[in-house]
Homo-oligomer: A and B are copies of this chain.
Amino acid sequence: MIKVVILGTGNIAKHLFDAFLGNGTISIEQVVGRSASALEYFKKSTQVSKNYKSVKDADIFIIAVSDDSIQAVSKKLSGKMGLIVHTSGSVSVKVLAPHKNVGVIYPLQTFSMNRPINFKSVPVCLEADQKKDLQLLRKLAESISENVHLLSSTQRKHIHLAAVFANNFTNHLYHLAHKICEENKVSFDILKPLILETADKIVDLTPYSIQTGPARRKDTKTMQSQLEQLTNQWHKKIYEDVSNSILSTYEPDHQN
């Protein structure tokens, strides 16, 4: 059994906890967090504590807190034996120094509080300096996911940026589409099959090969007319920039 302590009570802490529960390889020793109400969720199934001074012993300590708090929480673990890991996409493993046994377990998925997810298919990106630590971390990760990858801090930083485009920015484009529908009294539901098919397509085809739309076919008349439909300055800018980026992707000499 791999003994685990989770530090933090947010989305990732909760989804990891759910994935660990009832797993024959993992024993959750404790969940530690500052908020008593957030600890309620974990209390039924393991020991919880609000006190970072009473952290139990474990093989792996998983720091699942906001990026800015990782270092501070890791300092509270001084003197602990075992592997200390964080779960962030953009923070280097180095912030966990001076601990020697350090690593990262970064589940690359968008988690919502009340939306269950099949963790088996969640890509989990791992990093650890020491070979033995990596073996242990891999054993933990492979017990909850069938999609485990080794990534350096630099690679992780880049894929986190890629995820910002593919997830955060894409979701904002959905929001703009939603807004345009609302303002013109058209149901956003009409767009949902399109959104799902657009995402589904990239499972088998490269996004480069299936690009369509006014910018792809250099249809300046439609682009001009659509720009005029937009009233918000940021939305206009997004329309122009993404169109220019599409034009320059297929014609590297494009200068605007």
- B159, A198: Cβ atoms under 8 Å? no
Our pick among B195, B208, B214 for the contact of A164 (Cβ within 8 Å) is B214
Residues in chain B near residue A117, CB distance under 8 A: 197
Our pick among B109, B125, B229 for the contact of A193 (Cβ within 8 Å) is B109
Check A248 for interface membership: any CB of B closer than 8 A: yes
- B177, A213: Cβ atoms under 8 Å? no
Residues in chain B near residue A225, CB distance under 8 A: 90
Check A2 for interface membership: any CB of B closer than 8 A: no
Quickly give the copy total for this chain: 2
Check A222 for interface membership: any CB of B closer than 8 A: yes
Q: Closest CB-CB distance, A148 to chain B, in whole Å?
A: 10
Residues in chain B near residue A234, CB distance under 8 A: 241, 244-245, 248
Assembly CA distance A162 to B182 (angstroms): 10
Interface residues of A in 30-68 (CB under 8 A from B): 67
Assembly CA distance A203 to B190 (angstroms): 11
Q: Closest CB-CB distance, A197 to chain B, in whole Å?
A: 6
Assembly CA distance A206 to B189 (angstroms): 11
Question: A213 with B164: in contact, given A159-B180, A196-B203, A245-B235 (CB under 8 Å)?
Answer: yes
A residues near B, CB below 8 A?
Answer: 67, 90, 108-110, 112, 115, 117, 121-123, 125, 147, 149, 151, 154-155, 157-159, 161-178, 180-181, 183-187, 189-203, 205-208, 210-216, 219, 222, 225-226, 229-230, 232, 234-235, 237-239, 241-242, 244-246, 248-249
